[in-house]
Chain A
Amino acid sequence: MNQTELIEKINFNIIQGRMTAEDEGFDEGLEGQPAVTELIEQAVEAGIDAKIIVLDGLTGAMETVGAKFDKGEYLIPDMLASAECVGAAMDILAPLLADAGVESKGKFVLATVAGDLHDIGKNIVAIMLKGAGFEVLDLGNDVTTGRIVEAVKANNAQFLGLSALLTTTMREMGVVIKALEESGLRDQVRVLIGGAPTSEAFAAEIGADAHCRDAFHAIDLLRQMAA
Protein backbone atom coordinates (compact mmCIF):
# COMPACT_ATOMS: atom_id res chain seq x y z
CA MET A 1 0.00 0.00 0.00
CA ASN A 2 1.43 3.41 -0.89
CA GLN A 3 1.03 6.55 1.21
CA THR A 4 -2.11 7.81 -0.53
CA GLU A 5 -3.85 4.45 -0.26
CA LEU A 6 -2.95 4.13 3.39
CA ILE A 7 -4.19 7.61 4.26
CA GLU A 8 -7.37 6.89 2.32
CA LYS A 9 -7.89 3.68 4.30
CA ILE A 10 -7.37 5.54 7.59
CA ASN A 11 -9.85 8.14 6.43
CA PHE A 12 -12.37 5.47 5.46
CA ASN A 13 -12.08 3.64 8.78
CA ILE A 14 -12.47 6.79 10.86
CA ILE A 15 -15.64 7.51 8.93
CA GLN A 16 -16.72 3.90 9.57
CA GLY A 17 -15.88 4.37 13.24
CA ARG A 18 -13.67 1.27 13.47
CA MET A 19 -10.95 1.52 16.07
CA THR A 20 -9.53 -2.02 15.92
CA ALA A 21 -9.78 -4.90 13.49
CA GLU A 22 -12.53 -6.74 15.34
CA ASP A 23 -14.81 -3.68 15.42
CA GLU A 24 -18.00 -3.48 13.45
CA GLY A 25 -18.34 -0.39 11.31
CA PHE A 26 -21.19 1.80 10.20
CA ASP A 27 -21.51 -0.57 7.25
CA GLU A 28 -21.87 -4.29 7.65
CA GLY A 29 -19.19 -6.91 7.15
CA LEU A 30 -15.97 -5.01 7.85
CA GLU A 31 -15.03 -7.05 10.93
CA GLY A 32 -11.58 -8.54 10.72
CA GLN A 33 -10.14 -5.97 8.33
CA PRO A 34 -7.42 -3.68 9.69
CA ALA A 35 -8.91 -0.60 11.32
CA VAL A 36 -7.61 2.77 12.49
CA THR A 37 -5.18 1.49 15.14
CA GLU A 38 -3.58 -1.08 12.86
CA LEU A 39 -3.46 1.29 9.88
CA ILE A 40 -1.92 4.14 11.87
CA GLU A 41 0.74 1.74 13.11
CA GLN A 42 1.38 0.69 9.53
CA ALA A 43 1.62 4.30 8.44
CA VAL A 44 4.08 5.12 11.20
CA GLU A 45 6.17 2.08 10.32
CA ALA A 46 6.16 3.14 6.67
CA GLY A 47 7.62 6.44 7.79
CA ILE A 48 4.72 8.63 6.74
CA ASP A 49 4.97 12.07 8.36
CA ALA A 50 2.68 12.18 11.41
CA LYS A 51 1.64 15.71 10.48
CA ILE A 52 0.32 14.45 7.14
CA ILE A 53 -1.58 11.62 8.86
CA VAL A 54 -3.26 14.13 11.16
CA LEU A 55 -4.15 16.64 8.46
CA ASP A 56 -5.14 14.32 5.61
CA GLY A 57 -6.21 11.26 7.53
CA LEU A 58 -7.87 12.44 10.72
CA THR A 59 -9.08 15.99 10.28
CA GLY A 60 -10.53 15.41 6.84
CA ALA A 61 -12.36 12.33 8.00
CA MET A 62 -13.99 14.14 10.92
CA GLU A 63 -15.19 16.81 8.51
CA THR A 64 -16.91 14.12 6.47
CA VAL A 65 -18.41 12.70 9.68
CA GLY A 66 -19.73 16.16 10.56
CA ALA A 67 -21.31 16.52 7.13
CA LYS A 68 -23.00 13.13 7.50
CA PHE A 69 -24.30 14.07 10.93
CA ASP A 70 -25.60 17.31 9.43
CA LYS A 71 -27.57 15.40 6.80
CA GLY A 72 -29.03 13.13 9.43
CA GLU A 73 -27.23 10.15 7.97
CA TYR A 74 -25.10 9.73 11.12
CA LEU A 75 -26.46 9.49 14.64
CA ILE A 76 -24.67 10.58 17.80
CA PRO A 77 -23.19 7.09 18.50
CA ASP A 78 -21.83 6.99 14.93
CA MET A 79 -20.13 10.33 15.53
CA LEU A 80 -18.76 9.15 18.89
CA ALA A 81 -17.36 5.99 17.30
CA SER A 82 -15.42 8.13 14.83
CA ALA A 83 -14.30 10.46 17.61
CA GLU A 84 -12.93 7.48 19.56
CA CYS A 85 -10.93 6.44 16.52
CA VAL A 86 -9.28 9.84 16.32
CA GLY A 87 -8.46 9.57 20.03
CA ALA A 88 -6.84 6.16 19.50
CA ALA A 89 -4.91 7.47 16.51
CA MET A 90 -3.64 10.44 18.47
CA ASP A 91 -2.46 8.16 21.29
CA ILE A 92 -0.14 6.53 18.79
CA LEU A 93 0.89 9.73 16.99
CA ALA A 94 1.41 11.94 20.05
CA PRO A 95 4.97 10.88 20.83
CA LEU A 96 5.93 11.44 17.19
CA LEU A 97 4.48 14.92 17.01
CA ALA A 98 6.18 15.88 20.26
CA ASP A 99 9.93 16.08 19.83
CA ALA A 100 11.11 15.97 23.39
CA GLY A 101 13.97 17.88 24.90
CA VAL A 102 13.17 21.35 23.58
CA GLU A 103 13.36 24.10 26.16
CA SER A 104 10.03 25.52 27.32
CA LYS A 105 8.58 28.27 25.19
CA GLY A 106 6.12 29.20 27.90
CA LYS A 107 3.19 28.04 29.92
CA PHE A 108 0.06 27.33 27.91
CA VAL A 109 -3.31 26.79 29.57
CA LEU A 110 -5.81 25.00 27.33
CA ALA A 111 -9.52 24.33 27.75
CA THR A 112 -12.77 23.60 25.99
CA VAL A 113 -15.19 26.17 27.40
CA ALA A 114 -18.15 25.58 29.70
CA GLY A 115 -21.05 23.62 28.24
CA ASP A 116 -18.96 22.16 25.42
CA LEU A 117 -17.84 18.52 25.40
CA HIS A 118 -15.93 18.56 22.11
CA ASP A 119 -12.31 17.90 22.91
CA ILE A 120 -10.82 16.12 19.93
CA GLY A 121 -9.52 19.31 18.33
CA LYS A 122 -8.25 20.68 21.63
CA ASN A 123 -6.42 17.42 22.35
CA ILE A 124 -4.66 17.61 19.00
CA VAL A 125 -3.69 21.19 19.74
CA ALA A 126 -2.34 20.11 23.15
CA ILE A 127 -0.13 17.49 21.57
CA MET A 128 1.14 19.87 18.89
CA LEU A 129 1.91 22.55 21.45
CA LYS A 130 3.84 20.09 23.60
CA GLY A 131 5.70 19.08 20.48
CA ALA A 132 6.53 22.69 19.77
CA GLY A 133 8.00 23.09 23.23
CA PHE A 134 5.25 24.64 25.30
CA GLU A 135 4.42 23.55 28.81
CA VAL A 136 0.78 22.62 28.37
CA LEU A 137 -1.75 22.56 31.17
CA ASP A 138 -4.83 20.93 29.68
CA LEU A 139 -7.90 21.62 31.83
CA GLY A 140 -10.15 19.31 29.81
CA ASN A 141 -13.60 20.02 28.42
CA ASP A 142 -16.65 21.78 29.81
CA VAL A 143 -14.37 23.96 31.95
CA THR A 144 -16.00 26.83 33.82
CA THR A 145 -14.75 30.35 33.27
CA GLY A 146 -13.80 30.53 36.95
CA ARG A 147 -11.50 27.52 36.68
CA ILE A 148 -9.87 28.87 33.54
CA VAL A 149 -9.12 32.25 35.11
CA GLU A 150 -7.83 30.57 38.25
CA ALA A 151 -5.49 28.32 36.26
CA VAL A 152 -4.07 31.26 34.30
CA LYS A 153 -3.44 33.09 37.53
CA ALA A 154 -2.06 30.20 39.57
CA ASN A 155 0.36 29.17 36.83
CA ASN A 156 1.24 32.64 35.69
CA ALA A 157 0.52 31.42 32.17
CA GLN A 158 1.67 33.42 29.15
CA PHE A 159 -0.79 31.71 26.79
CA LEU A 160 -4.40 30.64 26.97
CA GLY A 161 -6.06 28.48 24.32
CA LEU A 162 -9.85 28.23 24.20
CA SER A 163 -11.80 25.75 22.15
CA ALA A 164 -15.51 25.70 21.31
CA LEU A 165 -17.34 23.67 18.69
CA LEU A 166 -20.87 24.88 19.25
CA THR A 167 -22.34 28.18 18.18
CA THR A 168 -23.99 28.28 21.59
CA THR A 169 -20.77 27.83 23.58
CA MET A 170 -18.42 29.99 21.50
CA ARG A 171 -19.94 33.02 23.25
CA GLU A 172 -18.41 31.71 26.49
CA MET A 173 -14.99 32.62 25.08
CA GLY A 174 -15.92 36.29 25.26
CA VAL A 175 -17.01 35.76 28.85
CA VAL A 176 -13.61 34.26 29.69
CA ILE A 177 -11.79 37.27 28.17
CA LYS A 178 -14.00 39.67 30.15
CA ALA A 179 -13.26 37.72 33.34
CA LEU A 180 -9.53 37.92 32.61
CA GLU A 181 -9.85 41.67 32.21
CA GLU A 182 -11.75 41.98 35.48
CA SER A 183 -9.12 39.94 37.28
CA GLY A 184 -6.37 42.14 35.88
CA LEU A 185 -4.81 39.20 34.03
CA ARG A 186 -5.60 40.15 30.45
CA ASP A 187 -2.24 41.84 29.82
CA GLN A 188 -0.12 38.93 30.99
CA VAL A 189 -1.71 36.35 28.72
CA ARG A 190 -2.18 35.92 24.97
CA VAL A 191 -5.52 34.36 24.15
CA LEU A 192 -5.77 32.05 21.13
CA ILE A 193 -9.11 30.63 20.12
CA GLY A 194 -10.16 27.83 17.81
CA GLY A 195 -12.93 25.44 16.86
CA ALA A 196 -15.07 25.09 13.78
CA PRO A 197 -17.63 27.90 14.37
CA THR A 198 -15.01 30.51 15.32
CA SER A 199 -13.41 32.93 12.89
CA GLU A 200 -10.94 35.75 12.71
CA ALA A 201 -13.81 38.23 12.84
CA PHE A 202 -15.21 36.56 15.93
CA ALA A 203 -11.79 36.64 17.61
CA ALA A 204 -11.59 40.38 16.93
CA GLU A 205 -15.13 40.89 18.21
CA ILE A 206 -14.47 39.30 21.59
CA GLY A 207 -10.96 40.70 21.91
CA ALA A 208 -8.92 37.52 21.50
CA ASP A 209 -5.34 37.83 20.25
CA ALA A 210 -5.66 35.28 17.49
CA HIS A 211 -7.90 32.79 15.78
CA CYS A 212 -6.38 29.48 14.65
CA ARG A 213 -7.80 27.38 11.82
CA ASP A 214 -6.01 24.30 13.04
CA ALA A 215 -3.22 23.16 15.31
CA PHE A 216 -0.51 23.83 12.74
CA HIS A 217 -1.79 27.33 12.13
CA ALA A 218 -1.52 27.85 15.89
CA ILE A 219 2.13 26.81 15.89
CA ASP A 220 2.86 29.20 13.00
CA LEU A 221 1.16 32.11 14.76
CA LEU A 222 3.00 31.40 18.00
CA ARG A 223 6.28 31.35 16.11
CA GLN A 224 5.44 34.77 14.64
CA MET A 225 4.46 36.10 18.06
CA ALA A 226 7.81 35.02 19.47
CA ALA A 227 9.80 36.58 16.64
Chain B
Amino acid sequence: MIIIGEKINATRKAVKPMILERRETELIELAQNQADAGAAYIDINVGTGTGGREDEVEAIRWAVTTVKAAVAKPICVDSADARVLAAGLAACDGHDAMINSVKADPDYLAEVLPIAARHDVPVICLAMDLEGIPKDVAGRLAACQTIADAAGAHGVPEAHLYFDPLVLPIAADATQAKVTLDTLAAVKDRFPAAKTVMGLSNVSYGLPARAQLNAAFLAMALYAGLDAAIMDPMDSTMRAAALTGTALMGRDRHFRKYSRAFRNA
Protein backbone atom coordinates (compact mmCIF):
# COMPACT_ATOMS: atom_id res chain seq x y z
CA MET B 1 0.00 0.00 0.00
CA ILE B 2 1.17 3.48 -0.88
CA ILE B 3 1.26 5.84 2.09
CA ILE B 4 0.77 9.53 1.45
CA GLY B 5 2.07 11.32 4.54
CA GLU B 6 -0.57 13.85 5.63
CA LYS B 7 1.25 15.80 8.31
CA ILE B 8 2.34 18.89 6.40
CA ASN B 9 -1.10 20.51 6.48
CA ALA B 10 -1.40 24.14 7.53
CA THR B 11 -4.80 23.55 9.07
CA ARG B 12 -2.94 21.70 11.84
CA LYS B 13 -2.03 23.95 14.74
CA ALA B 14 1.61 22.89 14.85
CA VAL B 15 2.12 23.36 11.12
CA LYS B 16 0.48 26.72 10.53
CA PRO B 17 3.28 28.84 12.08
CA MET B 18 5.82 26.61 10.39
CA ILE B 19 4.41 27.72 7.04
CA LEU B 20 3.71 31.36 7.91
CA GLU B 21 7.16 31.90 9.45
CA ARG B 22 8.98 29.78 6.85
CA ARG B 23 10.59 27.51 9.44
CA GLU B 24 12.70 25.53 7.04
CA THR B 25 14.37 23.08 9.45
CA GLU B 26 11.09 22.09 11.06
CA LEU B 27 9.40 21.59 7.72
CA ILE B 28 12.20 19.36 6.47
CA GLU B 29 12.16 17.39 9.70
CA LEU B 30 8.43 16.77 9.40
CA ALA B 31 8.86 15.60 5.81
CA GLN B 32 11.88 13.43 6.62
CA ASN B 33 10.21 11.77 9.61
CA GLN B 34 7.30 10.77 7.43
CA ALA B 35 9.61 9.47 4.72
CA ASP B 36 11.54 7.44 7.31
CA ALA B 37 8.27 6.00 8.60
CA GLY B 38 7.38 4.70 5.16
CA ALA B 39 5.56 7.53 3.38
CA ALA B 40 5.90 7.20 -0.40
CA TYR B 41 4.54 10.71 -0.98
CA ILE B 42 4.74 13.82 1.17
CA ASP B 43 1.48 15.77 1.07
CA ILE B 44 1.87 19.56 1.32
CA ASN B 45 -1.12 21.77 2.06
CA VAL B 46 -0.28 25.38 2.87
CA GLY B 47 -3.84 26.66 3.18
CA THR B 48 -3.58 28.50 6.47
CA GLY B 49 -6.86 30.36 6.09
CA THR B 50 -5.04 33.64 6.68
CA GLY B 51 -3.80 35.92 3.95
CA GLY B 52 -4.76 35.91 0.31
CA ARG B 53 -4.25 33.78 -2.71
CA GLU B 54 -0.85 35.31 -3.51
CA ASP B 55 0.37 34.37 -0.03
CA GLU B 56 -0.61 30.78 -0.64
CA VAL B 57 1.10 30.71 -4.01
CA GLU B 58 4.26 32.05 -2.36
CA ALA B 59 3.93 29.57 0.50
CA ILE B 60 3.53 26.52 -1.74
CA ARG B 61 6.56 27.58 -3.80
CA TRP B 62 8.64 27.84 -0.68
CA ALA B 63 7.38 24.60 0.90
CA VAL B 64 7.80 22.51 -2.25
CA THR B 65 11.24 23.89 -2.99
CA THR B 66 12.34 23.32 0.59
CA VAL B 67 11.06 19.74 0.88
CA LYS B 68 12.16 18.77 -2.61
CA ALA B 69 15.75 19.78 -1.93
CA ALA B 70 15.99 17.79 1.30
CA VAL B 71 13.79 14.70 1.03
CA ALA B 72 13.94 12.23 -1.86
CA LYS B 73 10.21 11.54 -2.01
CA PRO B 74 7.54 12.66 -4.45
CA ILE B 75 5.40 15.56 -3.32
CA CYS B 76 1.62 15.55 -3.24
CA VAL B 77 0.59 19.16 -3.87
CA ASP B 78 -2.62 19.66 -1.93
CA SER B 79 -4.97 22.58 -2.54
CA ALA B 80 -8.48 23.41 -3.65
CA ASP B 81 -7.11 26.34 -5.68
CA ALA B 82 -5.91 25.64 -9.22
CA ARG B 83 -3.39 28.47 -9.09
CA VAL B 84 -1.79 27.05 -5.97
CA LEU B 85 -1.64 23.63 -7.61
CA ALA B 86 -0.06 25.15 -10.72
CA ALA B 87 2.54 26.99 -8.63
CA GLY B 88 3.31 23.86 -6.58
CA LEU B 89 3.74 21.73 -9.67
CA ALA B 90 5.92 24.35 -11.32
CA ALA B 91 8.08 24.43 -8.19
CA CYS B 92 8.42 20.64 -8.34
CA ASP B 93 10.06 21.21 -11.73
CA GLY B 94 10.55 17.59 -12.69
CA HIS B 95 10.62 16.24 -9.13
CA ASP B 96 7.95 13.47 -8.95
CA ALA B 97 4.61 14.82 -7.80
CA MET B 98 0.89 14.26 -7.50
CA ILE B 99 -2.11 16.58 -7.45
CA ASN B 100 -4.51 16.53 -4.49
CA SER B 101 -7.32 16.93 -5.63
CA VAL B 102 -10.16 17.45 -8.12
CA LYS B 103 -13.88 16.71 -7.97
CA ALA B 104 -16.60 16.40 -10.60
CA ASP B 105 -16.76 20.13 -11.23
CA PRO B 106 -16.43 20.71 -15.00
CA ASP B 107 -14.94 24.20 -14.73
CA TYR B 108 -12.40 23.19 -12.14
CA LEU B 109 -11.50 20.05 -14.05
CA ALA B 110 -10.87 22.18 -17.13
CA GLU B 111 -8.40 24.23 -15.08
CA VAL B 112 -6.56 21.46 -13.25
CA LEU B 113 -6.45 18.54 -15.68
CA PRO B 114 -4.28 20.46 -18.20
CA ILE B 115 -1.78 21.04 -15.35
CA ALA B 116 -1.76 17.30 -14.63
CA ALA B 117 -1.31 16.53 -18.32
CA ARG B 118 1.49 19.07 -18.75
CA HIS B 119 3.47 17.77 -15.78
CA ASP B 120 2.51 14.14 -16.44
CA VAL B 121 1.50 13.54 -12.81
CA PRO B 122 -1.26 11.54 -11.11
CA VAL B 123 -4.35 13.25 -9.74
CA ILE B 124 -6.46 12.40 -6.71
CA CYS B 125 -10.12 12.47 -7.79
CA LEU B 126 -12.79 12.91 -5.15
CA ALA B 127 -16.03 11.01 -5.76
CA MET B 128 -18.14 14.13 -5.32
CA ASP B 129 -19.72 16.82 -7.45
CA LEU B 130 -20.91 20.39 -7.09
CA GLU B 131 -23.76 19.26 -4.87
CA GLY B 132 -21.45 17.55 -2.40
CA ILE B 133 -20.82 13.92 -1.56
CA PRO B 134 -23.45 11.57 -3.00
CA LYS B 135 -24.90 9.30 -0.34
CA ASP B 136 -24.95 6.17 -2.47
CA VAL B 137 -22.56 4.17 -4.62
CA ALA B 138 -24.25 5.06 -7.91
CA GLY B 139 -23.91 8.78 -7.22
CA ARG B 140 -20.25 8.54 -6.30
CA LEU B 141 -19.51 6.37 -9.29
CA ALA B 142 -21.21 8.91 -11.54
CA ALA B 143 -18.93 11.62 -10.16
CA CYS B 144 -15.91 9.39 -10.88
CA GLN B 145 -17.17 8.84 -14.43
CA THR B 146 -17.47 12.60 -15.03
CA ILE B 147 -13.86 13.04 -13.90
CA ALA B 148 -12.65 10.08 -15.95
CA ASP B 149 -14.31 11.45 -19.09
CA ALA B 150 -12.76 14.87 -18.56
CA ALA B 151 -9.38 13.30 -17.90
CA GLY B 152 -9.63 11.40 -21.17
CA ALA B 153 -10.47 14.59 -23.02
CA HIS B 154 -7.46 16.39 -21.50
CA GLY B 155 -5.00 13.59 -22.14
CA VAL B 156 -4.61 12.40 -18.55
CA PRO B 157 -4.35 8.60 -18.70
CA GLU B 158 -6.63 6.46 -16.52
CA ALA B 159 -3.55 5.04 -14.80
CA HIS B 160 -2.91 8.55 -13.43
CA LEU B 161 -6.28 8.76 -11.68
CA TYR B 162 -6.40 8.02 -7.95
CA PHE B 163 -10.09 7.81 -7.08
CA ASP B 164 -11.05 8.66 -3.51
CA PRO B 165 -14.46 7.10 -2.72
CA LEU B 166 -14.71 9.45 0.28
CA VAL B 167 -15.87 8.50 3.71
CA LEU B 168 -18.44 10.17 5.94
CA PRO B 169 -18.54 9.76 9.71
CA ILE B 170 -20.42 6.58 10.57
CA ALA B 171 -21.49 8.13 13.86
CA ALA B 172 -24.07 10.10 11.88
CA ASP B 173 -24.98 7.38 9.40
CA ALA B 174 -23.87 3.81 10.09
CA THR B 175 -24.35 2.72 6.47
CA GLN B 176 -21.62 5.03 5.20
CA ALA B 177 -18.58 2.82 5.76
CA LYS B 178 -20.11 0.18 3.54
CA VAL B 179 -21.04 2.74 0.88
CA THR B 180 -17.37 3.76 0.78
CA LEU B 181 -16.14 0.15 0.56
CA ASP B 182 -18.66 -0.71 -2.15
CA THR B 183 -17.66 2.40 -4.08
CA LEU B 184 -14.01 1.31 -3.86
CA ALA B 185 -14.86 -2.07 -5.34
CA ALA B 186 -17.08 -0.51 -8.03
CA VAL B 187 -14.35 1.97 -9.02
CA LYS B 188 -11.84 -0.87 -9.34
CA ASP B 189 -14.29 -2.71 -11.51
CA ARG B 190 -15.14 0.17 -13.81
CA PHE B 191 -11.68 1.76 -14.06
CA PRO B 192 -9.29 -1.17 -13.90
CA ALA B 193 -6.18 0.88 -14.71
CA ALA B 194 -6.95 3.56 -12.12
CA LYS B 195 -5.79 3.52 -8.52
CA THR B 196 -7.72 4.20 -5.34
CA VAL B 197 -6.84 6.36 -2.36
CA MET B 198 -8.52 7.41 0.83
CA GLY B 199 -8.16 9.54 3.91
CA LEU B 200 -9.57 7.16 6.49
CA SER B 201 -9.81 8.95 9.78
CA ASN B 202 -13.15 10.66 9.00
CA VAL B 203 -14.91 7.34 9.42
CA SER B 204 -14.55 7.33 13.19
CA TYR B 205 -15.34 10.99 13.87
CA GLY B 206 -17.53 11.33 16.95
CA LEU B 207 -16.90 7.83 18.31
CA PRO B 208 -14.55 6.60 21.06
CA ALA B 209 -11.41 4.50 20.43
CA ARG B 210 -11.09 5.98 16.96
CA ALA B 211 -7.77 4.27 16.23
CA GLN B 212 -9.46 0.91 16.46
CA LEU B 213 -12.19 1.83 13.95
CA ASN B 214 -9.69 3.42 11.60
CA ALA B 215 -7.44 0.36 11.63
CA ALA B 216 -10.27 -2.09 10.99
CA PHE B 217 -11.61 0.15 8.24
CA LEU B 218 -8.21 0.29 6.58
CA ALA B 219 -7.95 -3.50 6.56
CA MET B 220 -11.43 -3.80 5.03
CA ALA B 221 -10.63 -1.11 2.46
CA LEU B 222 -7.52 -3.04 1.41
CA TYR B 223 -9.75 -6.00 0.68
CA ALA B 224 -12.14 -3.78 -1.30
CA GLY B 225 -9.26 -2.57 -3.47
CA LEU B 226 -7.55 0.34 -1.75
CA ASP B 227 -4.13 1.13 -3.22
CA ALA B 228 -3.10 4.19 -1.23
CA ALA B 229 -3.97 5.97 1.99
CA ILE B 230 -3.54 9.54 3.09
CA MET B 231 -2.54 9.07 6.69
CA ASP B 232 -0.05 9.71 9.43
CA PRO B 233 2.76 7.25 8.65
CA MET B 234 4.04 7.57 12.21
CA ASP B 235 0.78 6.22 13.65
CA SER B 236 1.82 2.71 14.66
CA THR B 237 -1.72 1.32 14.85
CA MET B 238 -2.45 2.43 11.29
CA ARG B 239 0.92 1.22 10.07
CA ALA B 240 0.23 -2.17 11.64
CA ALA B 241 -3.18 -2.29 9.96
CA ALA B 242 -1.64 -1.39 6.60
CA LEU B 243 1.08 -4.04 6.90
CA THR B 244 -1.33 -6.67 8.14
CA GLY B 245 -4.00 -6.02 5.52
CA THR B 246 -1.46 -5.95 2.70
CA ALA B 247 0.06 -9.23 3.89
CA LEU B 248 -3.34 -10.89 4.18
CA MET B 249 -4.17 -9.79 0.64
CA GLY B 250 -1.06 -11.56 -0.63
CA ARG B 251 0.49 -8.28 -1.73
CA ASP B 252 3.60 -8.45 0.44
CA ARG B 253 5.90 -10.88 -1.34
CA HIS B 254 7.46 -13.34 1.09
CA PHE B 255 5.95 -11.25 3.92
CA ARG B 256 9.10 -9.12 3.76
CA LYS B 257 7.51 -5.91 5.04
CA TYR B 258 5.30 -7.63 7.58
CA SER B 259 8.11 -9.77 8.98
CA ARG B 260 10.56 -6.92 9.05
CA ALA B 261 8.16 -4.88 11.16
CA PHE B 262 7.09 -7.62 13.53
CA ARG B 263 9.54 -10.51 13.56
CA ASN B 264 10.96 -9.44 16.88
CA ALA B 265 7.66 -8.26 18.29
Q: Interface-forming stretch among B89-97, B198-206, B224-232, B254-262? A: B254-262
Partner of B263, one of A17, A75, A80: A75
Tell yes or no: A187 within 8 A of B by CB: no
B260 near A77: Cβ-Cβ < 8 Å: no
Residue of B nearest to A26 (CB): B256
The residues in A between 13 and 36 inclusive whose CB is less than 8 angstroms from any CB of B are 17, 23-26, 28
**What's the Cα separation between A101 and B256 when bound, in Å?**
43
A78 near B254: Cβ-Cβ < 8 Å: yes
Residue of A nearest to B247 (CB): A77
B260 near A17: Cβ-Cβ < 8 Å: no
- CB-CB under 8 A from B259, the residues of chain A are 75, 77-78
Q: Number of B residues contacting the other chain (C-beta, 8 Å)?
A: 8
Interface size class, chain A: 10 to 19
The residues in B between 85 and 111 inclusive whose CB is less than 8 angstroms from any CB of A are none
From B254, B260, B263, name the one whose CB has the most chain A CB atoms within 10 angstroms.
Answer: B254
B260 near A28: Cβ-Cβ < 8 Å: yes
- CB-CB under 8 A from A196, the residues of chain B are none
Tell yes or no: B253 within 8 A of A by CB: yes
Q: Mark A63-85 against chain B: 1 for CB-CB distance below 8 A, else 0.
A: 00000000000010110110000
B214 CB, nearest partner CB in chain A, Å: 27
B256 near A24: Cβ-Cβ < 8 Å: yes
B130 CB, nearest partner CB in chain A, Å: 43
- CB-CB under 8 A from A80, the residues of chain B are 254
- CB-CB under 8 A from B263, the residues of chain A are 75
B254 near A81: Cβ-Cβ < 8 Å: yes
- CB-CB under 8 A from B256, the residues of chain A are 24-26, 77, 81
A185 CB, nearest partner CB in chain B, Å: 42
Residue of A nearest to B256 (CB): A24
- CB-CB under 8 A from A75, the residues of chain B are 255, 259, 263
B263 CB, nearest partner CB in chain A, Å: 7
A24 near B253: Cβ-Cβ < 8 Å: yes
A148 CB, nearest partner CB in chain B, Å: 32
- CB-CB under 8 A from B257, the residues of chain A are 24
The residues in A between 161 and 204 inclusive whose CB is less than 8 angstroms from any CB of B are none
- CB-CB under 8 A from B253, the residues of chain A are 23-24
A18 CB, nearest partner CB in chain B, Å: 10
**What's the Cα separation between A17 and B255 when bound, in Å?**
12
B251 CB, nearest partner CB in chain A, Å: 13
- CB-CB under 8 A from B255, the residues of chain A are 75, 77
- CB-CB under 8 A from B260, the residues of chain A are 28
6 additional contacts (CB under 8 A) given A75-B259, A81-B254: A23-B253, A24-B253, A25-B256, A75-B263, A77-B255, A80-B254
What are the nearest 3 A-B pairs in CB distance? A81-B254, A77-B255, A24-B256
Give A residues with C-beta under 8 Å from B.
Answer: 17, 23-26, 28, 75, 77-78, 80-81
* Interchain residue pairs with CB less than 8 A apart (21): A17-B254, A23-B253, A24-B253, A24-B254, A24-B256, A24-B257, A25-B256, A26-B256, A28-B260, A75-B255, A75-B259, A75-B263, A77-B254, A77-B255, A77-B256, A77-B259, A78-B254, A78-B259, A80-B254, A81-B254, A81-B256
